[in-house]
Structure 1
Amino acid sequence: MKGSTAYKSIQKRGLHIGLLPEMAAAVNGSTPITLDHDLDIFPGAGRHLTVAEYAEHVDDLAGRLWAAGVRPDERVVLYKRANADLWMLAAAASRIGAVPVNLSPALDAATVAALLKRVDHPTLVTDEPKLGLLKEVPLADLTARVITASGEWPGTQSLAALAGSPRVAPVVRPIDEAAVITHTSGTTGIPKLVVHTPRTQGRRLIPQRRLLSLIRKRETAAIHIPFVHSRMVAAMTLALLKEWPVLLLRESDPADVAEQFARHRPAFVEALPNSLMEWEELAEDPRRPFASVKVFSSTFDAIHPRTMSRLLKASDRRGALFFQIYGQSEVGPAVGRAYFRNSAHKANGRCVGWAMPRGAAKIRVVGRNGKTPSEKNPGFIEVAWDGLAKTYFAEQDRYDTNRNGHWWRTGDVGYRTRLGCLHMLDREVDMIPGVRSSLEVEDVVLSKLSELSELVVVQGPNSEPVPVICTVDDKPLDAGRWRAAVAAFPQLADPVQIPQAELPRTATLKVQRLALAARFAQRPGERA
């Protein structure tokens, strides 16, 4: 089977992640998958797999889940420590017709308990560390069964003990029924559970496949995305069907990343924006870990021009570009924009891109107050296409409040230029009186102060815009340099400096701005 044939099949029948490993093995079973960590479920498998071995492991796990009692249409919650086997477990559950519910390992016990209750007596696949964390949660009341992916625990079934279970024929779910459930970032409270179908997952491949066509040769793709995120579905599918060697990264420490990149020389890198910010320092690394990169790609959150510029200048590839995708779990990739080596540093970071043609999402901006949306009067950003998530699990009313016919209201505000570029200024809930765009302030100031590792503008207790800053190695910030950098923003209050480790973050490393603002209101902290 050719990758193009497999892709056409997905567009016709939908993307079923339980069938993907077998499909990818039929395209090229020898394609390598390299990990920077050991698998918890298969500790003896090593860190170098082929796609054929990967497919075999998924088939094996599907048989074990069936032997444990999991059946089609059941929901299987995956909550264990971060590991690439989370993706394998999701594929295995899908392969027998169950619906994987992917929960971030970063979620706390109270949040997990709330989501288990919402999902209504699912099977829980977890591990010893997480069971220890959940020791006060009444799992017997909230779940149908608990399965340990590694280790053993009283009252649970062990996947290891089910090794050698008979293989099971795959079960294909209907194209418009739930296939995978992931959750939102939870920046404003308990995360919502987003329901994806085979059709919606397949459609989301369209714009990204065109991006990957920029790399003609079979070169390594390095992927640093949470293994439970909906983005992982598209990233793994496209890389495997293009027969690209895949480097799956769990670790984000710059020293580890530099070693992996220097060894494997990826041509394509997709990572979280905050991880890319952390990796900026590698632009000066003598091993030149980014020298081979042709395309950097990121989504999830705003990324600053300074970061894009430093990474692109560290590449030796002709025509290297940074492709930013604007979207969210509910809509997938909505718009995109390419940034280039010689211009990224002066780009307007609020211009997140243009609608992508031929079968991709449509975008519009709707007035908030009856007036035409503009730069001075931003409106609500809305997206429409058949890649929209189907619903929020067990919260249909909440989903319906954001849905208007074919259009989905993202919760962001912005405007479109005469040339059609979408400018995203802020989340509606993060807007601050007197500030056009907190994200714009952050873009500008970060570009002027290389000693800043993070800057987040939040609303203070008196509605004033308060810049919360973190510096490289938590060094004190020079007050004079700060005043010069923010001269164009006289409305800003004095900055509050905190250690970067104290920033409240989501599972995808987004800063929880409302939580940060609330904590600041309670305890001012250290003044710079």
Structure 2
Amino acid sequence: MNAIDDIIGSWILQYRTAGVNAAWFLLGRHSSEKPHSPALHVVSALGQDNTYTFSDLDTLTAHLAGGLSNLGVGPGDRVAALLPKGLELTLTALATWRLGAVYVPLFTAFGNEAVSYRLEDSKTKVVITDANNRGKLPNLPGGALQAIVTTESARSSDVSFQNLLASSPMNGWTIRNGDDAMVLLYTSGTTGQPKGVIVPIWALAAFEGYMRFGLDLRPDDRFWNLADPGWAYGLYYGLIGPLLLGQSTLAYKGAFEPEAVLQLLEHYHITNFAAAPTAFRAIRAANPAPKTTSLRVISSAGEPLNPEVSQWSETVFGLPIYDHYGQTELGMVINNHHDPRLNRPVKPGSMGVPMPGFRAVVVDDKGTELGSAVEGHLAIDTQASSLFWFSGYYQAPDRTQERFTADGRYYLTGDDASRDGEGYFYFSGRSDDIILSAGYRIGPFEVENVLMTHPSVAECAVIGVPDELRGESVKAYIVLRSTHQADEQLAAELKEWVRQRLAKTAYPREIAFVATLPKTPSGKIQRYRLRHD
């Protein structure tokens, strides 16, 4: 393990120093060394492929960075993207980092309230979007937001993305320090609004670790991460990770369809494939015949993987699916590693062993480490984890403090787990009320907040319930005002109310109208009683 420790040390030395630029690591050095190598494949829903080399992306981001600079964007400023997968999103992120600014990803399934909160809290200066998502933004910039850029059909008050691409190019790369922020990504909590996770430039060391140790990404691999870059796994390991290693990445713009995924795997001769368990369960439900593919390794992340899904994969693809575990605040930290140096037998139901650079433990309520075969709180020993980069939530010291033990040594993931005698970890469940649905983290408070704005709702509580496809789905318990009657029409209206205002991924798929909600003597809702109803 000493050789691997030395490699990790070299990454930290490279990325956590003065005089660095994130876009240089992802783009600039590769454009110099292999300008004509493919960096990005953008595939339309109809299968049309537009391929961009590292040189192409270098040229385009230089122009876009010049245009953003003309809008007043400089080091440390926030630039948000409310865009689907594709060229424009990739250019926006890279141009932002080229300027030394901070990238704020916004998932396109978010509703206007979710988008507004993130823009306001992050103090975003410029947001870039498309015609499909423009309606989720204010008509005119205001507050910290100085410009709204649209990729097509710009309103009179908007800035044209194409005009920015026609700007004089920015020469060079803005120098930053390794501890400076490169991403501000919001993650849902059980109480309060979403929390902003500050991702520093030197987190690239941890991202490189996962790409090499967890995914075993090799120079001759053809890689595809199906996850959306509006979320951590898609951003860290679908956009940043492959470019960091000088590999091409694939962005499919069509809707998820099992048959389309299978066709793309075959057409592009994908050898290294990663997706959420929900995607694998959907492909399994389509009942495809055994396939002859180029696949070498398959990985799953975002929520626990059912062992039977991995067994199905062996039948259809001839390969098991390796389960991996991580968080927005950490990146991936516990894996069934594909790297031959770390490869161990896969145990059904286990998410694997800690990745080099992290020491994972199980602790009790007092923060004392527990032995094997004892369930407790999954934690990261920060003093023994050289790749632990999380420094806290944006402008939220109290919420940051909640994630650490009293002595500050252990970072508490909020998940419960156990460890066997051979060091394999097993996920037990959330130790809070977060809902993991199709790989998305959904905070019940956000959903409840939106429901409470409907005139019929007096009180409500939201929990996650088992869902065969998604792992969990959202269920809402509603206490109505006396002026309203419970019926199917009102239930449908409430679902759509959340779907439009919060996110397509977060609306309650099931609604139960109840007379009262279980509460503690102090009036706190007891969600655990609803879960065990």
Q: TM-score range by the shorter chain?
A: 0.7 to 0.9
- Equivalents in 1 of 2:142, 2:412: separation in Å? 38
How far has the Cα of 1:142 moved from its partner?
Answer: 5.2
Q: In 2, Cα distance between the equivalents of 1:187 and 1:154?
A: 40
CA–CA distance in structure 1, aligned partners of residues 74 and 313 of structure 2: 46
Using the alignment, how far apart are the partners of 2:191 and 2:43 within structure 1? 32
Query: CA separation of 1:396/1:250 partners in 2, compared to 1, >3 Å: closer, same or farther?
Result: farther
Measure how far apart 1:408 and its partner are: 1.2
Matched position secondary structure for 2:429: strand
Matches within 5 A, 1:20-99: 20-32=26-38, 33-37=40-44, 47-99=50-102
Show the counterpart of 2:325: 326
Contact 2:85 2:252 in 1 (8 A): no
Q: Which residue of 2 aligns with 1:18?
A: 23
Tell me which amino acid in the other structure corresponds to 1:30: H
CA-based RMSD of the aligned residues comes to 4.0
The residue number in structure 1 matching 2:518 is none
Tell me the secondary structure at the aligned position of residue 255 of structure 1.
helix
2:206 is aligned to 203
- Is the CA contact 1:17–1:95 (under 8 Å) kept in the aligned structure 2? yes
Amino acid corresponding to residue 260 of structure 2 in structure 1: D
2:481 alignment partner in structure 1: none
Q: Tell me how far 1:244 sits from its aligned partner.
A: 4.1
The gaps in structure 1 that reach 5 residues or longer are 39-44, 433-437, 440-460, 472-497, 524-528
Cα separation, partners in 2 of 1:244 and 1:179, compared to 1, 3 Å: closer
Is 1:162 the counterpart of 2:161 in the alignment?
no
Given that 1:295 and 1:322 are in contact with CA atoms closer than 8 Å, whether structure 2 keeps it comes out as yes
Q: 1:49 aligns to what SS in structure 2? A: strand
Q: Does the CA contact (< 8 Å) of 1:124 and 1:146 recur in 2? A: yes
Residue number in structure 2 paired with 1:348: 348
Judged with a 3 Å threshold, the aligned counterparts in structure 2 of structure 1 residues 125 and 245 are, in CA distance, closer, same or farther, namely closer
Q: C-alpha distance in 1, partners of 2:231/2:112?
A: 19
Please say if residues 305 and 347 of structure 1, whose CA atoms lie closer than 8 Å, have aligned partners that are also in contact. Answer: no
> What displacement does 1:126 show?
2.1
**Shift in Å, 1:11:** 4.9
Match of residue 382 from structure 1: 379
1:409 deviates by 0.7
Question: Which residue in the other structure is 2:149 paired with?
Answer: 147
What amino acid sits opposite 1:416 in the alignment?
A: R
Counterparts of 1:464 and 1:177, CA distance in 2: 37
Counterpart in the other structure of 1:100: 103
Q: Give the equivalent residue in structure 1 for 2:443.
A: none
Aligned length: 440
Q: What stretches of structure 2 of length at least 5 have no aligned partner?
A: 1-6, 339-343, 439-459, 471-490, 516-533
Percent of paired sites with the same residue: 21
SS at match of 1:266: coil
Deviates more, 1:117-126 or 1:234-243: 234-243
Query: Which residue number corresponds to residue 392 of structure 2?
Result: 391
For residue 177 of structure 2, give the secondary structure of its aligned residue in structure 1.
coil
Does the CA contact (< 8 Å) of 1:224 and 1:250 recur in 2? Answer: no
TM-score between both structures, scaled by the size of structure 1? 0.72
The alpha carbon displacement at 1:29 in A equals 2.5
What is the match of residue 292 of structure 1?
294
Q: How far apart, CA to CA, are the structure 1 residues paired with 2:95 and 2:463?
A: 50
Shift of residue 373 of structure 1?
Answer: 4.7
Distance 1:174 1:62 in 2: 19
Please tell me the residue identity of whatever aligns with 1:325. Answer: H
Taking the aligned partners of 1:196 and 1:465, their CA distance within structure 2 comes to 28
Give the superposition deviation at 1:397: 1.9
C-alpha deviation, 1:12, in angstroms: 1.3
Between the aligned partners of 1:64 and 1:522, the Cα distance in structure 2 is 54
In 1: Cα distance, 2:504 partner to 2:362 partner:
24
Task: Please name the residue that 2:404 is paired with.
Answer: 403
- The CA deviation string for residues 269-318 of structure 1, in whole angstroms up to 9 with x for no partner, is 012221222122466247x2x622111112221121122222232225xx
For the Cα contact (< 8 Å) 2:362–2:369, is it kept in 1?
Answer: no
Does structure 2 conserve the Cα–Cα contact (< 8 Å) formed by 1:361 and 1:387? yes
C-alpha spacing 1:371/1:99, structure 2 compared with 1 (3 Å): closer
Q: Quick one: which of 212, 215, 221 aligns to 1:219? A: 221
